[in-house]
Amino acid sequence: MTCAKVRIWASCPQVPSKNHSTGPPNISTIDSSAAGIIRPPVAIPSLRILEDELIERIRRRIPSSEGGALRLGIGHDAALIHAQGWDWVVTCDQFLEGAHFLADKHPPQSVGYKALIRAASDVVAMAARPRFFLLSLALPAERTGAWLNQMLSGMARASKSLGLRLAGGDTARSAGDGARIALNVMVLGEARRGDGIGRAGARPDDGIYVTGILGRAQLGLELILREMSGQRSYRKLLAPHYYPTLSLDFALWLGRHYLPSAMMDISDGLSTDLRRLCRASGVGARIYADQLPLVAVPGSLQGIPELDPLTLALHGGEDYGLLFTAPMRRVSRIPNIFGRTRITRIGEIVRGSGVKIVAAGGKVSSLIPSGWDHFAKR
């Protein structure tokens, strides 16, 4: 199969320029022929622009075709490798100082926790159970004391919450001036043969679903970047950014019952990730603004454009909820709630390409993918 957008290569948002402007409105009325074009949020040269080309170059040069034991390779949340009876699902994710976290803004516990959650999320999003992980650490010498201990305690919390066990890894000292922290996590998960779900199976008329509330992690991040994280009344709003949770049980249930036609996690924002799912499946999508499960923004924060609930929900990253599609004949089996996980139908798959959003008043617009990791934009 061809993979227009290779998600397993594209899960790391890049560091945007500091001179980044907020850019054009996120919901625009560009005609549909242009709707398929990704507009990068930054104007400076950046890997983000090169990403598709870069990944294509890697794919062309290194043997990577699917087939045989490699059932799903590049282009899904994780790779699916067939073993007798069970399938192994493997993924890797970098968590880099300066690119994915800021050592002066993010508590080390959160860094360790999120590094593991972020990687495990790609396994969960294929309806697999994370079992083992490998940890590669590159550290400056001055981070091998208290910072490391606290980072590890956050990682232990994540591993316990998911039943994940550490199987090994690799340590190195990061070298040179301005040496930075780099965490690389590889997660191995297992699925019963045939249960694993990729992102290429969505078909016209399938319903589109999300789990959880959209935009909560981004709201927390915006407060941190605005130096408002110390205010007691906002403190509980930070947890979704520092310690996101995964819907493991629900993902496994979906896989066991063969309900989704396609599934992935929302790590880079709904507008970006839904477009990826559509491209991988060769379809388009239509979603409804008034059906989105929006983050609740306190009254005291209203009026700030970046904190608009719809903007946060469409483009905010790191919620790590599930995005999935289900054929009409299975829609009645999708619950509204599963344990503590809220499930919301937000639209449907359509023929063609691109994602449209229907505003509350009925106006239809193209949804420009604008999800990315904002934490370093200022």
Q: Which of 19, 22, 33, 144 binds its own copies (CB under 8 A)?
A: 144
Should residue 128 be labelled a site residue for its own copies when binding is judged by CB under 8 A?
A: no
Considering only residues 63-92, where is the footprint of its own copies by CB under 8 A? 63-65, 69-70, 73-74, 76, 78-79, 81, 83-86, 88, 90-92
Query: 207-233 burial by CB neighbour count: b if 16+ within 10 A, else e?
Result: bbbbbbbbbbbbbbbbbbbeebbeeee
* Nearest approach, Cβ of residue 79 and its own copies (Å): 4
Should residue 252 be labelled a site residue for its own copies when binding is judged by CB under 8 A?
A: no
Considering only residues 87-106, where is the footprint of its own copies by CB under 8 A? 88, 90-94, 96-100
Should residue 9 be labelled a site residue for its own copies when binding is judged by CB under 8 A?
A: yes
CA 133 to chain centre: 19
Q: Provide the total of helices (H) and of strands (E) in the chain, helices listed first.
A: 8, 15
Q: Which of 5, 14, 121, 242 binds its own copies (CB under 8 A)?
A: 14
Whether 59 contacts 6, CB under 8 Å: yes
Q: Helix crossing, 146-162 with 108-124: angle to 10°?
A: 30
Per CB under 8 A, the segment of 39-47, 205-213, 237-245, 276-284 that binds its own copies is 39-47
What lies within 8 Å, CB to CB, of 177 at 6+ separation is none
Should residue 50 be labelled a site residue for its own copies when binding is judged by CB under 8 A?
A: yes
Nearest to 319 by CA among 118, 85, 100: 118
Should residue 214 be labelled a site residue for its own copies when binding is judged by CB under 8 A?
A: no
d(C-alpha 306, C-alpha 8), whole Å:
28
* Nearest approach, Cβ of residue 372 and its own copies (Å): 12
Nearest to 281 by CA among 366, 193, 198: 198
Q: Which of 146, 175, 305, 362 binds its own copies (CB under 8 A)?
A: 175
Should residue 1 be labelled a site residue for its own copies when binding is judged by CB under 8 A?
A: no
Q: Which of 30, 38, 103, 134 binds its own copies (CB under 8 A)?
A: 134
Should residue 170 be labelled a site residue for its own copies when binding is judged by CB under 8 A?
A: yes
Should residue 159 be labelled a site residue for its own copies when binding is judged by CB under 8 A?
A: yes
Q: Which of 123, 139, 326, 349 binds its own copies (CB under 8 A)?
A: 139
Residues binding its own copies: what is the number (CB under 8 A)? Answer: 85
Residue 71 identity: R
d(C-alpha 135, C-alpha 238), whole Å:
26
Should residue 194 be labelled a site residue for its own copies when binding is judged by CB under 8 A?
A: no
d(C-alpha 151, C-alpha 73), whole Å:
31
* Nearest approach, Cβ of residue 29 and its own copies (Å): 32
Should residue 33 be labelled a site residue for its own copies when binding is judged by CB under 8 A?
A: no
CA angle 232, 237, 242 (to 5 degrees): 110
Q: Is 252 exposed, middle or buried (0-12, 13-18, 19+ CB in 10 A)?
A: middle
Should residue 10 be labelled a site residue for its own copies when binding is judged by CB under 8 A?
A: yes
Q: Which of 36, 40, 107, 169 binds its own copies (CB under 8 A)?
A: 169
